[in-house]
Amino acid sequence: MTQPLVECIPNFSEGRRMEVIDSIAAAISAVAGVRILDRHSDADHNRSVITFAGPPQGVLEAAYAAIARAAELIDLDEHRGEHPRIGATDVVPFVPLSGVTMDDCVRIARQLGERVGRDLGIPVYLYEAAATRPDRVNLERLRRGEYEGLKSAILSDAERAPDFGPSRLGKAGATVIGARAPLIAYNIFLTTDDVEIAKQIAKAIRHSSGGMHYLKALGLLVEGRAQVSMNFTDFTHTPLARVTELIRREAQRHGVSVEHAELVGLVPQAALIDAAQWYLQLDPFRPDQVLEARLYATEGETGGAEPAFLDGLAAGTATPGGGSAAAYAGAMAAALVGMVARLTIGKKKYAAAQERMAAVALEADRLRASQADAVALDARSFEAVLAASKMPKESRDEIAARQTALEQATHRAAEVPLQVAGNAAATLDLAVEAARDGNRNAFSDAVSGASLAQAALRAAAMNVRVNAASVADRTAAKRWLAQLEALEARAAQAASTLDAMIRKQTGSTA
């Protein structure tokens, strides 16, 4: 909970020469603040995936350095492998982790794309959330014909013109850059070397062929075995366990079975817990029943607000203060909404609400993480105001520097609680949904979440108004206040709807 974090998972068209991947990894690691989390190379695919994370600007710089190094070391004219590809650096997705939004990642993707096209002369296509055209959202369409087909198409077909860079391919090919939600790369090996069986299974399960939503699949020959290679774009809607069982049944139809599975890169813990819960039929299971999760929670190592936060709040110091408390309340509100949604998922009585509650749980998790990050962000922003106010003011230059620093710090001190207020309003909307469509036994939990969200919004709004009153930039102040008023109106409407549900549920005038 120290800084905004972005994840980047570039795929490189090299999985056999480890010295090349080592060099690319070194270029990434050389950027301050960026950490490599995972490396995965596959000789049959002739492809490597490097996962790294860090602050937004650092991740952008590391991605550029990796693309530049790959362009020096990988020649697509010489490259052969099982996996489809169009570039030395084939695809570069950015994923928001904490303190950043999908829109932030879209901006990073577009900045990187423009720079790669301009400075490296590599054609760049934008995809997923960063796509500039509907037909470029899906990666498969951009890889159509692979490097060899694109090499000629890009010269004459206006539909294949890149978003950035020249309309011609060099030895580094083209690169696809974008922003997306977390993705799970998961492969299943079959007890056969007949790749046609894997291809038929992949066709049966993937969404583009009429199969399961949020699932992409290919049939490949890897390590002498037929492999069903998959990408899960939303595991909350299409879980790993469900797909694994479907593949198992499809394989049996062909007289083969599942030999083993593998993950490429990293996987959210929630996806593994979901699989364990499904296979073990642990219907009443709670994530906090995991020993390590409970241990880390008691030690304050789960991220977000630590248990010691309340001691700090009670101390005689300026920070953390009301703004941090607002964010803390907002995080608890989102956590309660996520709890209600998960208590609804998997219950036959609420079959009609399954898909929506899964989406509510996912969005509640995102809001909870953002609010938890804001606990510290708000404290730091006010500390910056205090530091600016203590700057020397003896000379005219010192006074000017102090005023500039104080103005900038106060802007940040207003923007953080404004984001908290926006998150709280969004959480309140989700709480209303959870109360209306969720598990009736958890109705009071949904209402509690809504109440905390309302409190978070009111507390954050006070911080915005105090800071807005003290800035010299009245245009910015008016913009903040207008946004705040819109959020408060939205929250009032949600609260009115919730009050009506409470009266119906309890017969009271709560």
Domains with residue ranges and CATH for the chain: 5-179 (3.30.990.10), 184-272 (3.30.70.670), 286-506 (1.20.120.680)
Catalytic residue among 83, 207, 260, 411: 83
CA distance 222 to 193: 9
Alpha-carbon distances of 36 from 2, 19, 176, 428, 503, rounded to whole Å:
18, 17, 21, 37, 53
472 CB neighbour count, 10 Å cutoff: 11
Tokens of 166: 């020249």
Tokens of 272: 């593994």
pTM above threshold 0.85 = no
Contacts of 102 (CB under 8 A, 6+ apart): 96, 129, 179, 181
Q: Which residue has the tokens 């930039």?
A: 473
Cβ proximity of 70 and 89 under 8 Å: yes
Pinpoint the alpha helices (H) of 281-353: 291-298, 309-314, 322-344
Q: Which helix (DSSP H) or strand (DSSP E) does residue 109 occupy?
A: helix 102-115
> Tell me, what DSSP letter sits at residue 350?
G
pLDDT tens for the chain, residues 1 to 510: 346 889 999 999 999 999 999 999 999 988 888 989 888 888 888 999 999 999 999 999 999 999 999 999 999 999 998 889 999 999 999 998 878 889 999 999 999 999 999 999 999 999 999 999 999 998 889 999 999 999 999 999 999 999 999 999 999 999 999 999 888 999 999 999 999 999 999 999 999 999 999 899 999 999 899 999 999 988 888 999 999 999 999 999 999 999 999 998 788 888 888 899 889 988 778 777 877 666 665 554 444 444 567 777 787 777 788 999 999 999 999 999 999 999 998 888 888 888 889 888 888 888 988 888 788 888 888 888 888 888 888 898 888 888 888 888 888 888 889 999 999 999 999 999 999 999 999 999 999 999 999 999 999 999 999 999 999 999 999 999 999 999 999 999 988 998 888 888 877 644
Cα–Cα–Cα angle for 141, 196, 139, rounded to 5 degrees: 15
> Tell me, what DSSP letter sits at residue 438?
S
Count of all residues that appear for the chain in the document: 510
Contacts of 49 (CB under 8 A, 6+ apart): 9, 10, 11, 12, 38, 39, 40, 41, 185, 264, 265
Radius of gyration of the chain (CA): 25
CA atoms within 13 A on the CB side of 14: 26
Q: What is the pLDDT of residue 260?
A: 95
Cβ proximity of 447 and 430 under 8 Å: no
List residues bridging with 412 in a β-sheet.
Answer: none
CA distance 146 to 156: 16
Sign of the torsion angle spanned by Cα atoms 19, 21, 24, 28: negative
Sign of the torsion angle spanned by Cα atoms 243, 210, 10, 183: negative
Residue 304 identity: G
Q: What is the pLDDT of residue 308?
A: 61
178 CB neighbour count, 10 Å cutoff: 25
CA distance 318 to 404: 22
Cβ-count burial 425-464 (b if 16+ within 10 Å, e if not): bbbbbbbbbbbebbbeebbebbbbbbbbbbbbbebbbebb
Backbone angles phi, psi at 11, to 5 degrees: -110, 125
Q: What is the pLDDT of residue 355?
A: 86
Tokens of 380: 């730091």
207 is catalytic: no
CA 326 to chain centroid, in Å, comes to 23
Q: What is the pLDDT of residue 299?
A: 54
Q: What is the pLDDT of residue 337?
A: 94
CA distance 191 to 256: 6
List residues bridging with 229 in a β-sheet.
Answer: 187, 218
CA 394 to chain centroid, in Å, comes to 47
CA distance 348 to 358: 14
Q: Which residue has the tokens 């978003």?
A: 163
**What's the N-to-C CA distance of the chain in angstroms?**
36
Alpha-carbon distances of 282 from 117, 248, 275, 287, 365, rounded to whole Å:
51, 22, 10, 11, 21
CA distance 83 to 231: 13
Q: What is the pLDDT of residue 297?
A: 58
Ramachandran class of 261: left when φ > 0, alpha when ψ lies in -120 to 50, beta otherwise: beta
